[in-house]
Amino acid sequence: MFTNDVETTTISTNRLSDKTGERVLKEGMPKLLELYNKFNIRTTFFFTGYIAKKFPEVVRMVIPYNHEIGSHGFTHEVDKAFDVLNFKEQIEYLGKSKKILEDISNQEVVSFRAPALRTNQYTALALAQTGFLIDSSIASQRFDMLLSYGSIKKLKWLTAPRLPYITKKDNLIEAGNGLIYEIPISALWLPYIGTTLRMSPTLIKILRYILNIEASYNGKPIVFLIHPNELLDETNNIKNVHRRSNNIFSYIFYDLIRSKLKMRNLGQKAIPLYERELMYFVKEKYKFLTLKQYYDVTIKQLSKDR
């Protein structure tokens, strides 16, 4: 499952920008859609409500390719992440995002991924109450150290189930008898995502090799995450990294160091790297599914087994 988080973040400065959103629409998304179309791959696109409302065509353009449309919350603002929102606020943001996306696409939206993968004890309950069925915000056995916001809370990922699972009613990180189906982003200490791919193409090959062995052993689906803004050239941007925290350690690790790492192989250089990943799974004869397709297949199987 190749998945895409669509937002207005400017990678070089850590700022949210409507200009970047416009470039995502006109440059990043067409490049991604062209790659997927080349290999006849269907994917899931998670849109923030903000970019969908500001640039509705960014949602409409995926419909002819039969990609799934999912929610990435309403905004990617750091101080409005789901791990700091209360239950009522999460209901509001999820409902707002879902309505925007469904009104634009005329499709039911049932899949969710939290901005920056930040969730809390209210998220599973809020998702269920607002009509979502699927979450993909957990990266089982991923270890972020000090390089992402909410990294301390994300330590719980180390104990999360590796295979997709029904979550607890009030906890996305543990299996239970709730209403949300968790499809984890692939990781093994390092996350299998576009940032890792661009930071170290060699490490990603090793990680992919291990994930492929695991998949052949237990059938675990491989879930990759990328952003269309990773395909935008930002070399001409002023490198004044936006400070998102008053904490000096947060600024150094989450903003300065992380920003420099994320600038590697950004833009045109990222395209052949990503195409190599797609080609690998095509050659290995993997079946490509959206999250909703995978949910439909596995839930039906679970029902038969019962």
pLDDT tens, position by position, 105-127: 999 999 999 999 999 999 999 99
Residue 53, pLDDT score: 98
245 band by pLDDT with thresholds 50, 70 and 90: low
> Which residues, in sequence order, are bridge partners of residue 71?
47, 112
Residue 262, pLDDT score: 77
What pLDDT, in 10s, does the model give residues 254-267?
555 556 677 899 99
Q: Which range, of 5-9, 33-37, 262-266, averages the lowest pLDDT?
A: 262-266
Residue 197, pLDDT score: 96
Mean pLDDT of the 265-287 span: 96
Residue 52, pLDDT score: 98
What average pLDDT does the chain have? Answer: 91
Q: Give whole-number Cα distances, 72 to 45, 262, 268, in Å.
A: 9, 20, 25
pTM tops 0.85: yes
Q: Give the whole-angstrom CA distance, residue 153 versus residue 166.
A: 21
Tell me if residue 95 falls in helix, strand or coil.
helix
Residue 173, pLDDT score: 96
Provide, for the chain, the percentages of residues in helix, strand and coil under a 3-state DSSP scheme, each rounded to the nearest 5: 50, 15, 40
Q: Which of 259, 113, 119, 138 is nearest to 191 (CA)?
A: 138
**Site of tokens 């409507």:** 18
Residue 252, pLDDT score: 46
Residue 249, pLDDT score: 45
Higher pLDDT, 268 or 154: 268
Is the model's pLDDT at 218 over the cut of 70?
yes
Residue 253, pLDDT score: 46
What pLDDT, in 10s, does the model give residues 44-88?
999 999 999 999 999 999 999 999 999 999 999 999 999 999 999
Residue 148, pLDDT score: 58
- The first and second tokens of residue 57, run together, are 């065509």
Q: Which range, of 42-51, 76-85, 213-222, 228-237, averages the lowest pLDDT?
A: 228-237
Higher pLDDT, 125 or 150: 125
Domains, the chain, with CATH or none: 2-305 (3.20.20.370)
Residue 239, pLDDT score: 55
Q: Which of 32, 33, 43 is nearest to 70 (CA)?
A: 43
Q: Which of 191, 189, 190, 200 is nearest to 264 (CA)?
A: 200
Q: Give whole-number Cα distances, 302 to 35, 127, 222, 295, in Å.
A: 33, 21, 20, 10
